[in-house]
Amino acid sequence: MQRRILVLLSILALVVVLAIPQVMNAQMGRSPGMMGNPGMGQGSDAQTIHQLFADHKQIRRTVEEIPGGIRAVTESDNPQVAALIQKHVSKMYDRVNKKQPIPMIGMSSTLPTMTQAANQYRRQIRITPKGIEVTETSGKPEMVALIREHTQEVTQFVKQGMSAMMNGRMR
């Protein structure tokens, strides 16, 4: 019985996550897949995120705590998955830097605060042959703690895929 409820809740959560972009776009009078600027389609971003969740077993991630923050390397031996990692992280950083909306932000318990406090930490990305290296640092202890918490959250997404949502890692 519990397993059946868990499966039903998982399906419901997936439906909600997939429906949110369409509902928001309809409420804002935008065409599907557009959230703000042309070329910055939320639908495309959501598809990338869902594909990364689906391919999470093909992704490896190492995280190193450094003074004032973290350095994380996220990669895949599958060239298509590596390209998705690069695309996703680059686009999300671009959105944070330009103060643009982030699709599916409610999936993360830390990302809303990180985007609001974007001027309180430094972000660097380096494309690797199989993915991406991210370095995030701050001089503010509360921001360092948030950066590290977000890194753990992303690591859970990589380890568990969509089931991370059911384990309380997402709002």
**Adjacent-strand bridge partners of 66:** 69
78-101 residues labelled b (16+ CB within 10 A) or e (exposed): eeebbebbbbbbebbbebbeeebe
| 108: confidence class by pLDDT, cuts 50, 70, 90 | confident
In this prediction, residue 169 carries a pLDDT of 43
With beta carbons less than 8 A apart as the criterion, state whether 85 and 131 touch: yes
| 171: confidence class by pLDDT, cuts 50, 70, 90 | very low
